[in-house]
Amino acid sequence: MKNLKAMLVGVVAALALTAPSWASPKTVTLNVSGMTCEACPITVKKALQKVPGVSKIDVLYEKKQVVVTFDDSKTNTDALVKATTNAGYPSQPEKTAK
Ligand SMILES: [Cu+2]
Protein backbone atom coordinates (compact mmCIF):
# COMPACT_ATOMS: atom_id res chain seq x y z
CA MET A 1 0.00 0.00 0.00
CA LYS A 2 3.03 2.23 0.26
CA ASN A 3 3.11 2.88 -3.48
CA LEU A 4 -0.55 3.81 -3.60
CA LYS A 5 -0.05 6.38 -0.89
CA ALA A 6 2.96 7.85 -2.65
CA MET A 7 0.94 8.04 -5.85
CA LEU A 8 -1.91 9.84 -4.12
CA VAL A 9 0.49 12.34 -2.63
CA GLY A 10 1.82 12.96 -6.11
CA VAL A 11 -1.64 13.44 -7.57
CA VAL A 12 -2.62 15.87 -4.85
CA ALA A 13 0.60 17.82 -5.35
CA ALA A 14 -0.01 17.96 -9.10
CA LEU A 15 -3.56 19.21 -8.55
CA ALA A 16 -2.36 21.87 -6.17
CA LEU A 17 0.16 23.10 -8.71
CA THR A 18 -2.31 23.22 -11.57
CA ALA A 19 -5.14 24.87 -9.66
CA PRO A 20 -8.13 25.19 -11.97
CA SER A 21 -9.20 28.77 -12.60
CA TRP A 22 -12.88 28.12 -11.93
CA ALA A 23 -12.28 27.46 -8.28
CA SER A 24 -9.36 29.30 -6.87
CA PRO A 25 -9.17 29.20 -3.13
CA LYS A 26 -6.38 31.44 -2.04
CA THR A 27 -4.54 31.54 1.21
CA VAL A 28 -3.11 34.66 2.71
CA THR A 29 -1.17 35.14 5.91
CA LEU A 30 -2.01 38.31 7.77
CA ASN A 31 0.29 39.71 10.40
CA VAL A 32 -1.86 40.99 13.22
CA SER A 33 0.51 42.65 15.65
CA GLY A 34 -2.30 43.82 17.92
CA MET A 35 -3.16 40.33 19.18
CA THR A 36 -1.84 40.70 22.69
CA CYS A 37 -4.03 38.37 24.72
CA GLU A 38 -5.83 35.13 24.11
CA ALA A 39 -9.20 36.78 23.55
CA CYS A 40 -7.93 38.77 20.57
CA PRO A 41 -7.84 35.88 18.10
CA ILE A 42 -11.51 35.24 18.77
CA THR A 43 -12.40 38.80 17.79
CA VAL A 44 -10.20 38.65 14.72
CA LYS A 45 -11.66 35.32 13.69
CA LYS A 46 -15.23 36.55 14.11
CA ALA A 47 -14.51 39.61 11.99
CA LEU A 48 -13.04 37.48 9.21
CA GLN A 49 -15.89 34.97 9.32
CA LYS A 50 -18.25 37.77 8.34
CA VAL A 51 -16.39 38.36 5.08
CA PRO A 52 -18.19 36.55 2.25
CA GLY A 53 -15.96 34.02 0.54
CA VAL A 54 -13.82 33.19 3.55
CA SER A 55 -13.72 29.44 4.04
CA LYS A 56 -11.02 28.84 6.62
CA ILE A 57 -9.32 30.81 9.35
CA ASP A 58 -6.33 29.57 11.28
CA VAL A 59 -5.12 31.83 14.04
CA LEU A 60 -1.47 31.43 14.96
CA TYR A 61 -1.57 33.38 18.18
CA GLU A 62 2.06 32.78 19.11
CA LYS A 63 3.20 34.19 15.76
CA LYS A 64 0.54 36.91 15.78
CA GLN A 65 -0.61 35.69 12.41
CA VAL A 66 -3.88 34.66 10.87
CA VAL A 67 -3.95 32.34 7.90
CA VAL A 68 -7.09 32.92 5.86
CA THR A 69 -8.35 30.74 3.04
CA PHE A 70 -10.80 32.51 0.75
CA ASP A 71 -12.41 32.40 -2.65
CA ASP A 72 -10.74 35.10 -4.69
CA SER A 73 -13.78 35.55 -6.88
CA LYS A 74 -15.73 36.68 -3.83
CA THR A 75 -13.25 38.62 -1.78
CA ASN A 76 -9.65 39.74 -1.67
CA THR A 77 -6.79 40.47 0.67
CA ASP A 78 -7.75 44.13 0.99
CA ALA A 79 -11.22 43.20 2.23
CA LEU A 80 -9.70 40.84 4.79
CA VAL A 81 -7.32 43.51 6.04
CA LYS A 82 -10.22 45.93 6.25
CA ALA A 83 -12.29 43.43 8.25
CA THR A 84 -9.63 42.93 10.92
CA THR A 85 -8.86 46.65 10.98
CA ASN A 86 -12.52 47.51 11.51
CA ALA A 87 -12.57 45.05 14.41
CA GLY A 88 -9.71 46.96 16.00
CA TYR A 89 -6.85 44.84 14.74
CA PRO A 90 -4.95 46.38 11.85
CA SER A 91 -3.23 43.70 9.82
CA GLN A 92 -0.75 43.42 7.05
CA PRO A 93 -0.56 40.69 4.45
CA GLU A 94 2.69 38.82 4.68
CA LYS A 95 4.79 39.07 1.57
CA THR A 96 4.68 35.65 0.02
CA ALA A 97 8.07 34.29 -0.88
CA LYS A 98 7.93 32.89 -4.36
CU1 LIG B 1 -6.90 40.52 23.58
Phi then psi dihedrals of residue 68, to 5 deg: -115, 130
Ligand 1 centroid to 39 CA: how many Å? 4
Distance of alpha carbon 98 from alpha carbon 82, whole angstroms? 25
Distance of alpha carbon 32 from alpha carbon 14, whole angstroms? 32
* 3-class DSSP state of 83: helix
Ligand 1 centroid to 98 CA: how many Å? 33
User: Which pLDDT value is given to residue 88?
Assistant: 97
Total residues found in the chain within this entry: 98
pLDDT band at 95 (very low <50, low <70, confident <90, very high): confident
Ligand 1 centroid to 8 CA: how many Å? 42
pTM, to two decimals: 0.73
C-alpha closest to that of 66 among 54, 11, 75, 2: 54
Q: What is the mean pLDDT of residues 32-44?
A: 95
Ligand 1 centroid to 37 CA: how many Å? 4
Ligand 1 centroid to 31 CA: how many Å? 15
